[in-house]
Structure 1
Amino acid sequence: MDNTQTSGVVSLESLYNEKIEPHLVELKGQRGKFQQEIFRMVLSVLALVVFILLFNQSGSGLFLVPVIGVIALIIVFGIRANQKMKLYRTAFKEKVVARIVKTINPEWLYHADGMISESVYRTSDIFRRSYDKYRGDDLVRGTLDKTDFECSELHTQYREVTTDSKGRTRTRWVTIFKGLFFHADFNKEFHGRTYVSPDFAERFLGRIGRKFQKISGPAPLVVLENVEFEKEFVVHATDQIEARYILTPTIMEAMLNIRKNYNCNVHFSFIGSRVYCALSIRKNLFEPKLFGSIVDLHEIENMYHLFRVNEVIIHELNLNTRIWTKD
């Protein structure tokens, strides 16, 4: 049975007015406690800095005492503020984010601190750069009709260390992927691997970019006849025939729709018996705000739209049609 609900404004207004707004007072209270800890920490540190400056002018030998006091206060208030922030974040996820997910489909499972496993990320082979940090949250797992899926926010990074002419080292963290990562059953056992990626090279370099595509990528280049699709995506596959079998005109049109609907770079891969999809979105998606309104109807609509990517991909790619059977 399809539990997909209508994405009309009325249902979202009802969700906001009946299930979220009544809890905003409680959330504001929890956020207020966090803000108070920050305010106390700042005031205390400023007072001790002034005290240190006065000690320094007087030439007292007890200069280290207030310095140690500043460090101790920062540690104590930092721990307390972190605890308050965790409580506020947990409440926000339970009272806002989880309710949005359940509005889309009450049978989906939501785990605020869950994420797509590293093994799934690696199996997708979409981002082949080795990573040093792997983080994520807001895992949604479920089934739409016959198709099982998982989706979560992910952020992978690698550490880059450089040394300047004076021998000083500098470390920076470089993002490999940040956004929503999705995978679902395709109901076909693929013999090869097919990759669909944003076409940066041809978009900016034209014919030279096409030549670059042939020598780069995880597999040989596949040239398709859909002109609009070729402008947005580049396809590589270990099996040219299978790639064309997968990328039907309907599937290519669906990928273009997903690219347009979410207005971000989108990667796909078809490996094993699953389809993988990564939507690159640089901002944090489902986190509580520290200042201003906690959440409004417009933000509820944005979250709702992002979580619906699960059913959008499944429906757009016709994964429930089951036109194939697994070998």
Structure 2
Amino acid sequence: MADTDELHAKKKLAGALKIVAIAVATLIAAPVFFAILSAALNGGYIFVGVIAAVFFIPSVRSFVLKLFERPSQISNTNAQNLVSDELAAQLSELENERLNLVTAVKETRLIALGVCICAWVVTSRLSDDGIFGAACGAVSYAATMSLLTASKRRRFRSNFKRQIIENIVKKHGLSYDKDRGLELYDFFVIYDCRVDEWHREDLVEGEIEGVRIKFSDFYAAKKIKNKNNTETVVQFKGVLFKADFNKNLSSITQISHINSKNLKIYGEKANMDDVRFEEIFDVYATDQIGARYALSPALMEKFTELCFRLGAPVNAVFKDNQILIAMETGLDSFEPNINKTLMSNETIALYESEIASFTQIVKELNLNRKIW
């Protein structure tokens, strides 16, 4: 107990010293930055300098925190409780790669900061425009970070998906392909909009209790050309889910979230006998009787619960003997977080939970219960 108390006291002291160091660095850096900026701009944009200094103070604190932050690293004993020996070995190897990437990112931040300041000062002097100089500095910082770390990030991301996500998916008896996904024609079953670029990845497919399923990340966008540039408008970003439906349908029934846009409309609106369901969904169908056959009271309740669980709009189309669901999560699923250790129960459980949140849709919607 004494050793534990002593360790706790040392941690508190180290934390206090860290806060003092950050405060001192901020107080020193802010006026120095302001002086350099004022000199660079020949006193021309003092107001811009004041604003920059004000916003620079929290930026310095954040930068120092990230620069000296020790990447979280926990003994792999906990992680091995959840995974096989083979996966534990892969986790250890991947964790080393993550730590190297974190170190590379920190080193690159220093280089990028130097490039940013140089670009800012030089551009401001040449153009005599402080705002333009600041913009060039910001662009230079982002470009340097991307150039020097992009390949390392891509390699880590690829290895993570191959070694971690694929193994987790296999535990559910399913297959995984990081480079494939549902097709554009699947997207157009639910949506009716212009798509100039689209991307799919992270395909999970197989059978759960006799129900064939497949789901993947999906992204669709359109391009709008303005006078000076081209704007990208995201039409959809989330997960497409396709599965066998437990009823043979002769009509098409559609569930539309009230906050969703660009949806294809099938037939006419159908009024359902579920007040809570109709608060967030509209139903359209090519046959009113068919809509009530497809959407039982229990299924409407399950769809409402699914929407609240995901915290995102959910749309679906029931056609033939299949159901296609679009979940507008706005997220890129199954992506690694380089700031979180892979050697802890919590991290692995997070990815387990993310995959399970989609595979459990089969049971949530009772798709595994055959009704003829």
TM-score by length of 2: 0.63
Task: Report the Cα distance in structure 2 between the residues aligned to 1:309 and 1:15, rounded to whole angstroms.
Answer: 18
- Write the mapping of 1:23-38 to structure 2, written as runs, cut at 5 A: 23-34=90-101
Q: 1:169 is paired with a residue of what secondary structure?
A: coil
Which residue of structure 2 lines up, in the alignment, with residue 149 of structure 1?
Answer: 213
* Aligned partner (choices 145, 157, 164) of residue 96 of structure 1: 164
Report if aligned partners of 1:268, 1:277 keep a CA contact under 8 Å in 2. yes
Structure ranking higher on relative contact order (CA contacts 8 Å, 6+ apart): 1
Q: Summarize the Cα distance change of 1:310–1:12 in structure 2 as closer, same or farther, 3 Å threshold.
A: farther
Tell me how far 1:268 sits from its aligned partner: 0.9
- Write the mapping of 1:148-227 to structure 2, written as runs, cut at 5 A: 148-162=212-226, 168-200=227-259, 217-227=265-275
Residues 213-265 of structure 1 show CA distances to partners (whole Å, capped at 9, x for unaligned) of xxx94431111111111112111111111111101111111112212222221
Higher Rg: 2
Tell me how far 1:147 sits from its aligned partner: 1.2
Which residue of structure 2 lines up, in the alignment, with residue 121 of structure 1?
Answer: 187
Which residue of structure 1 lines up, in the alignment, with residue 175 of structure 2?
Answer: 109
Report if aligned partners of 2:91, 2:164 keep a CA contact under 8 Å in 1. no
Report if aligned partners of 1:127, 1:176 keep a CA contact under 8 Å in 2. no
Q: 2:354 is paired with a residue of what secondary structure?
A: helix
Task: Report the Cα distance in structure 2 between the residues aligned to 1:43 and 1:146, rounded to whole angstroms.
Answer: 55
Q: 2:282 is paired with a residue of what secondary structure?
A: strand
Task: Report the Cα distance in structure 2 between the residues aligned to 1:223 and 1:238, rounded to whole angstroms.
Answer: 13
- Which letter maps to 1:14? N
Report if aligned partners of 1:151, 1:180 keep a CA contact under 8 Å in 2. yes
Q: 2:289 is paired with a residue of what secondary structure?
A: helix
Report if aligned partners of 1:126, 1:269 keep a CA contact under 8 Å in 2. yes
Task: Report the Cα distance in structure 1 between the residues aligned to 2:181 and 2:235, rounded to whole angstroms.
Answer: 17
Q: CA RMSD in A?
A: 3.6
- Which letter maps to 1:96? I
Gaps of 5+ in 2: 1-77, 126-139
TM-score by length of 1: 0.70
- Which letter maps to 2:296? T
Q: 1:159 is paired with a residue of what secondary structure?
A: strand
Answer yes or no: is 1:254 the counterpart of 2:302: yes
Which residue of structure 2 lines up, in the alignment, with residue 8 of structure 1?
Answer: none
Which residue of structure 1 lines up, in the alignment, with residue 320 of structure 2?
Answer: 272
- Which letter maps to 2:234? T
Report if aligned partners of 1:237, 1:243 keep a CA contact under 8 Å in 2. yes
Gaps of 5+ in 1: 1-10, 58-70, 163-167, 202-215
Report if aligned partners of 2:334, 2:354 keep a CA contact under 8 Å in 1. no
Report if aligned partners of 1:19, 1:99 keep a CA contact under 8 Å in 2. no
Which residue of structure 1 lines up, in the alignment, with residue 52 of structure 2?
Answer: none
Q: Summarize the Cα distance change of 1:88–1:253 in structure 2 as closer, same or farther, 3 Å threshold.
A: same
Q: 2:190 is paired with a residue of what secondary structure?
A: coil
Q: % of aligned pairs identical?
A: 24
Q: Summarize the Cα distance change of 1:228–1:86 in structure 2 as closer, same or farther, 3 Å threshold.
A: same
- Which letter maps to 1:183? K
